[in-house]
Structure 1
């Protein structure tokens, strides 16, 4: 039976401002990327999500980002190496402490937003994030954009890497994500999302925004928790996968799910 990990970005509410439906998403996904307070999230809310995830035996990842609460971590930044290494260590350490209190463990790291997109190709910032991960816990897996240069860079540095595809984001012909500033960058129709992800899992291919076919090798699929149709998309994916004999399973429990350099 084919299997795939399904992840979502959670714990991103801040005080009275609510972002997504974390509890509903936790009933569907197999891995949860939990905000660490820099781009979103507050300690009380993060701890609550961690406890709920622990009760469901969901795999936990640190969703580290730029220090950018106002921009939700989606604005490009150019921190020094010392800053970025320190920020990476700080965020992972904070989530590890909260996870311990919640009775669970941080298993992987998935950078957020602009940081995620930048380090996909920026070797300097990628090296800083990799260095931060290795400094605090080299056993952590890095979740990275399938096909991006950072995958080989992180493996060469000794990190385990799991490759990720995005269910609700459009792709360029080179395998990069279409900028959120452009029309059509986010796909909102659950059935369309499910069809393209089924093709990815069964064929390793999907259609780019210009109509060309691209090849992607991914062990995890992300549904953004802040997408308006997020819960409907996640339910549709779960149902369609089940109907086609595809099992949802955390990559941390799969043999060979993450590869180390």
Structure 2
């Protein structure tokens, strides 16, 4: 199982490509010669990224929390004269804080973007890959996928879903020669802290500096792992150790520690 080669009318579709890991994955695939289809709500940022890329690219504005926008993507890609050989489900949002104080709409949006969009787009684009007997899928999960995450209950559960779904999809697609990989980053400074209403000082106290990696390093490790046919990639040795510890530590011991250390659950 290897990364499909670039070719006429072939493309890689990257969701959440307007910034952070998604933008860096787009750069990585563009450097490898792939036509990249950049998908996100913020089309101005997508256009800026497209201008920076050396290879061909297309900009498609879409709100991944909207089922209608997701459903329209295959036809919009076909209208560009392209077939999707590489699908990167990177778009993600998160919330933080106790469930009892959460905004229901915001919590459901996390499920729509982080879970439903992954299932929706895989279901829509994988069938064509199977018919052509070539393709690759990269799903962006998280180190948080390896155990419950008090303070970000929905986000942790969503990423656990992505990891489980990726393992199952990979096994199903083996006979077709299609590779499927989950990348599980640790902390990356992509502006998530601001979006969650937390300061970098608060986040940094819970997640020590050695765990952090830049988005471009995560993107390269992710694409290299996909090209090598790896099932799961956890960038960074310390993050790999943290994932193992998170998975193996008894929940009765782990969860109180996580709850005490999560900045969104600390009393002000």
Q: TM-score range by the shorter chain?
A: 0.3 to 0.5
Provide TM-score, normalisation by structure 2.
Answer: 0.40
Query: Which has the larger strand fraction?
Result: 1
Provide TM-score, normalisation by structure 1.
Answer: 0.41
Larger Rg: 2
| Greater relative contact order (CA < 8 Å, ≥ 6 in sequence) | 1
